Chains A and B, each alone.
Chain A
Amino acid sequence: MTTRRSVLAGIGAAAATAGCARNTDPNVLTMWGMGREAEVVSEVLPGFLAEHPGVRVEVQMLPWTAAHERLLTAFVGNSLPDIAQLGNTWIPEFSSLNALEPLAPLLAATSSIDQADYFEGIWNTNMYGGELYGIPWYVDTRVLFYRRDILERAGYARVPQTWPEWRAAMEAVKREMGAQNYSVLLPLNEFEPMLALGLQQDEPLLRDDNTRGNFQSEGFKATLAYYKALFDDGLAPPSSNTQISNVYAEFDRGYFSFYITGPWNVGEFKRRLPENRQDTWMTAPLPGPHGPGASIAGGSSLVVFRTSPKKELAWALTEYLSRPDVQVEFQEKTGDLPPRRSVWETSTLSGDPYMAAFRDQLERARPAPPVPEWERIADELRIVGEAMVQGEMDVEQGAAALNARADRILEKRRWMVEEGRSV
């Protein structure tokens, strides 16, 4: 979503990054961040500045919509900053560009960052080719938002944990709410719901050293079949969430009772639904094929660039921003979910019933396949998903189309691996 603020920020960032990004002064650290995090990171920095007298941190803000281009352009132009916030799905790409500093040696000398305290799935998004390239800063995943009252009326005291139970519950909701309403909203303009359901299967999404699509596996075909049937049987509306004029009002009206979406919507539902309707909704971890299922491991990490002459100072800032007390403060300012279990316990999140599902889900967050091409493949998931829902493809054809498209996108990577080149 692009807001006015991000457009203005974009223009500002364009002006800011047009100059030289890296400062040659050894006491000035340049940091690039995105969106809300970049706005408030300066507010948690006083502690760091007190520990490093004479040091200054210049934070430059990039809008999310332009950040990826800007980072790649800066890489080509050799004007990357010292440290940056990087969406964790971009880590494979920048690692294969050899732009990121491997962090294992620095981590070994640091006691305050304890890998065991981090959610495993999130930590693993920072690994590429066995090397660690980033430290998770905040995390993001998808869970199930649902209407507690409607589910109760349909005869369910709690949210189902397996696919068959969930399917039965959706049918009961449909009976309860009538033909003009639906049970679940899976927006066709997002790949995330289908990806989350796909990650729940045992088979990986890519095979042969991540050089070919594995979408014709039995597991992924089961995901496609489950997903498509929800639309075919009238349980999910075949629309994007831009076509639904107000997702919050429609959820409140009972147009749909389940919605797979992310943590930012907790705040939105709290704000947009009336006070006396707040007890009608709740969040739950995603049901899986045979029990509580996996979900997406999203979020951002802190990375240090290989070209930085101030790596030690950049690492010191990474270490500072990863400290539990700093993360608690940062969480309060941004509302972002922290990547460390200990921070969940001490922050206000622990008392928020809506956040409990996220805490639980993060234990089962799974990274997407670590290849630079992943975003393009994920985009194909969305396109093929929409074509299947519109009846242009069946499950077999959809799986075959995904494999064909993934294989085409991965052609260069396959060649590199076959030639024995480092990827």
Chain B
Amino acid sequence: MKRSATGWLFAGPAVLAIAVFFFIPAAAALFLSLTDFDIYALADIRNLRFVGLRNYIELLQLPLFWLALGNTLYFVFVGVPLSLAASLGAAMLINSKLVRFKPLYRTIFFAPFVMTLVAAAVVWRYLLHTRYGMVNYGLQGIGLQPIDWLGDPAWAMPSIILFAIWKTFGYNMIIFLAGLQSIPEDLYEAARIDGASRWQQFRHVTLPGLTPVLLLTGVLTMAQYFQLFAEPYVMTQGGPAQRTVTVLYFMYEQGFKWWNLGSASAVAFVLFVFMFIFTVLQFAVARPPRGRA
């Protein structure tokens, strides 16, 4: 009894903070998602109605919501693997014994991650500009047609994926680097003695050694990528032809452009359910192999 009281005393401040800043707002948002809070309710709170699940039902019937969900899944399923591959590749390059000035490269690759997102996105808008951008300047230099990166419905999302990977790969790279360094060197030696090729070493030594790290970075990156918002907000405003409207961008428009806070909260919970399902799936798929912790 006394022990548990002491425990609560220690945990108390943290629990209180989590309750006040997380559980209460989440519960309030859940309640809000069952009402039709809109600008009329904003003018006079007596215009608020309890509508049950209507926000959810209407949301699931809205083509723009499905388009936004499709755009988001496109971003997640293309972006997360590419991002992890870029991080792992960069980590292995830096980890190589042949590389000198490792701290310099580590800093350079990590720099985009600590940059202000909005400022970096504005710079990328310049880089991707159809007529004056460096990217198209380079394309034309090798004799290719310029691409309207942010204005063409087919290219807008790939451009944003490219930007997002560039922005975030440095963070996972650092984690992978730590993971790589924790794999004992004698495993590689044993593999080489057994005649394993570089690919076989990667496949059977490096990857199993990195499984827990891959799972962690995969879950974190996916959670982060599901919440894509600032990049399209700064770079495309959801256009062209709504191809870069993501679920979060859609929620922002519902909530702060039209002030339909009820349905915006419903969007938030639907997104939460999706992220939850995919995270559970990821854990199920990437369960560590038998016998290893």
Which residues does A use to contact B, with CB under 8 Å?
2, 4, 7-8, 11, 65, 68-69, 72-73, 75-76, 93, 96-98, 189, 240, 242, 245, 372, 376, 408, 412-413, 415-416, 421, 423
Contacts and interface: CB of A to CB of B under 8 A. Distances in A.
A72 B38 contact: no
Q: Is the interface of A mostly helix, strand, loop or mixed?
A: helix
A240 B240 CA distance: 10
A96 B40 contact: yes
B234 A72 contact: no
B118 A73 contact: no
A385 to B, nearest CB: 14
Given A7-B122, A72-B259, A73-B256, A97 B47 contact: no
Contacts of B39: 72, 93, 96-97, 372
A7 B234 contact: yes
A416 B40 CA distance: 9
A266 to B, nearest CB: 23
A242 B258 contact: no
Contacts of A76: 42
B119 to A, nearest CB: 8
B125 A4 contact: yes
Contacts of A68: 257
B231 interface: no
B18 interface: no
Contacts of B5: none
Contacts of B44: 421
Nearest to B240: A242
Nearest to B235: A7
A397 B36 CA distance: 29
B257 A69 contact: yes
B122 A11 contact: yes
Interface in B238-293: 239-241, 256-259
Given A2-B237, A372-B39, 13 more contacts: A4-B125, A11-B122, A72-B259, A97-B43, A189-B240, A189-B241, A240-B241, A242-B240, A245-B148, A412-B40, A415-B49, A421-B44, A423-B40
Contacts of B43: 96-98
Counting from the closest, the 10 A-B pairs by CB-CB distance are A97-B43, A69-B256, A242-B240, A69-B257, A72-B259, A242-B151, A98-B43, A412-B40, A65-B237, A7-B122
Contacts of A240: 240-241
16 contacts: A7-B125, A72-B39, A72-B256, A75-B42, A93-B39, A98-B43, A189-B241, A242-B240, A245-B148, A372-B39, A413-B40, A415-B49, A416-B40, A421-B44, A421-B46, A423-B40
Interface string B15-44: 000000000000000000000101110111
A4 B151 CA distance: 14
Interface of B: 36, 38-40, 42-44, 46-47, 49, 58, 118, 122, 125-126, 148, 151, 234, 237, 239-241, 256-259
A388 to B, nearest CB: 15
Contact of A412 (B36, B58, B122, B234): B36
A372 B234 CA distance: 26
A76 B240 CA distance: 31
A423 B126 CA distance: 45
A412 B36 CA distance: 8
Contacts of A73: 256
Nearest to B58: A408
A75 B256 CA distance: 12
Nearest to A7: B122
A123 B36 CA distance: 33
Contacts of A11: 118, 122
A29 B46 CA distance: 33
Given A7-B234, A72-B256, A96-B39, A416 B122 contact: no
A52 B21 CA distance: 48
A188 to B, nearest CB: 9
A412 B42 CA distance: 13
Contacts of A421: 44, 46-47
Contacts of B46: 421
A78 to B, nearest CB: 12
A408 B46 CA distance: 21
A98 B41 CA distance: 12
Nearest to A8: B122
A177 to B, nearest CB: 26
